[in-house]
């Protein structure tokens, strides 16, 4: 059966020392605790190796927030999936709306990144979600379906089975405006139905679909209690242990 996952996305926050400190604190806080979900922290690239070294890998998985769509070579400033894997990280967040919007990541580029991530034994946490205008004009289901189809549906069932999805309505990210539990469940059920149609029940039922967008200690329990919401991708509330632990413990 699919896993419950609470994944932090630090975005471009915390210098190296602060990030290492936060990872240490989280590791301490989880020690000896029974946790009913997998915990992941998505750090900036330069933190990955240090953080992966510090945390108990049975308790905390480490994620990059991006990787290159090329294997290696003359791509100044880029970081490859192989490099990410060599740090001890296990996940890569891909297709975050901030990367789609500010860095012009297209469905095609994301398809390449997903392929390289899988080829290097990493788990993609693939983000999808509509902007406010698309929801208001009732295009949100079509938009989310296209994002999935265009970047992921050429994968074999076996490879698709390695993907984690994160539904993040863009209007809810960093805005303090969360999708209601009913809105989240409605979209997650739609996504799962889309997966059933393409890959069948087994793959669809085994795919973890996380919710992201202003999820926090106050709303996590209600969001996670929905049958198709298998956890969260947490931005702001992952930046301190005080705020992140209650989200983890919502399971």
Residues annotated as catalytic (active site), given as ranges = 96, 168
Is the distance from CB of 162 to CB of 122 less than 8 angstroms?
Answer: no
Helix (H), strand (E) counts: the chain = 12, 8
Q: For residue 238, count other CB atoms closer than 10 A to its CB.
A: 28
Taking the least distance from each CB to ligand PGA, the nearer of 68 and 220 is 220
Q: Which of residues 109-168 bind ligand PGA (CB under 6 A)?
A: 168
Taking the least distance from each CB to ligand PGA, the nearer of 80 and 214 is 214
- Residue 44 as a binder of ligand PGA (CB under 6 A): the answer is no
DSSP for 45-100?
GGGHHHHHHHS-TTTEEEEES---SSSSSS-TT---HHHHHHTT--EEEE--HHHH
Specify the pairing of strand 231-234 against strand 123-128: unpaired
Taking the least distance from each CB to ligand PGA, the nearer of 159 and 222 is 222
Is the distance from CB of 219 to CB of 178 less than 8 angstroms?
Answer: yes
Part of the chain binding ligand PGA (CB under 6 A), chosen from 44-52, 144-152, 219-227, 235-243:
235-243
Q: Shortest distance, CB of residue 38 to ligand PGA, whole angstroms?
A: 16
Q: Quick one: which H or E segment has residue 198? A: helix 181-199
- Residue 212 as a binder of ligand PGA (CB under 6 A): the answer is yes
Part of the chain binding ligand PGA (CB under 6 A), chosen from 72-80, 154-162, 199-207, 213-221:
213-221
Paired residues of 8 in beta bridges: 41, 234
- Residue 174 as a binder of ligand PGA (CB under 6 A): the answer is yes
Is the distance from CB of 215 to CB of 237 less than 8 angstroms?
Answer: yes
Structure token digits, residue 222: 């209600």
- Residue 95 as a binder of ligand PGA (CB under 6 A): the answer is no
- Residue 69 as a binder of ligand PGA (CB under 6 A): the answer is no
Q: Shortest distance, CB of residue 24 to ligand PGA, whole angstroms?
A: 22
- Residue 233 as a binder of ligand PGA (CB under 6 A): the answer is yes
Q: Shortest distance, CB of residue 198 to ligand PGA, whole angstroms?
A: 25
Binding site for ligand PGA (CB under 6 A): 9, 168, 173-174, 212-215, 233-237
């Amino acid at each position: 059966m699919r896993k419950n996952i609470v994944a932090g996305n630090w975005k471009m926050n915390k210098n190296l020392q602060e990030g290492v400190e936060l990872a240490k604190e989280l590791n301490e806080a989880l020690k000896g605790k029974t946790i009913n979900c997998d915990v992941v922290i998505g750090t900036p690239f330069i933190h990955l190796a240090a953080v992966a070294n510090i945390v108990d890998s049975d308790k905390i998985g480490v994620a990059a927030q991006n990787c290159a769509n090329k294997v290696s070579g003359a791509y100044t400033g880029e970081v490859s999936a192989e490099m990410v894997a060599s740090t001890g990280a296990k996940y890569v967040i891909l297709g975050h709306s901030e990367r789609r919007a500010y860095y012009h990541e297209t469905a095609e580029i994301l398809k390449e990144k997903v392929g390289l991530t899988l080829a290097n034994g990493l788990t993609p946490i693939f983000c999808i979600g509509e902007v406010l205008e698309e929801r208001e004009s009732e295009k949100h289901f079509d938009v989310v379906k296209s994002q999935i189809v265009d970047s992921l549906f050429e994968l074999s069932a076996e490879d698709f089975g390695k993907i984690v999805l994160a539904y993040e309505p863009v209007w809810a990210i960093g805005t303090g405006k969360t999708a209601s539990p009913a809105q989240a469940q409605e979209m997650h059920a739609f996504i799962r139905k889309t997966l059933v149609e393409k890959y069948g029940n087994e793959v669809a039922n085994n795919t973890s679909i996380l919710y992201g967008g202003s999820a926090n200690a106050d709303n996590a329990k209600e969001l996670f209690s929905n049958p198709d919401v298998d956890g969260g991708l947490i931005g702001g509330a992952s930046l301190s242990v005080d705020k992140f632990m209650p989200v983890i413990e919502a399971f």
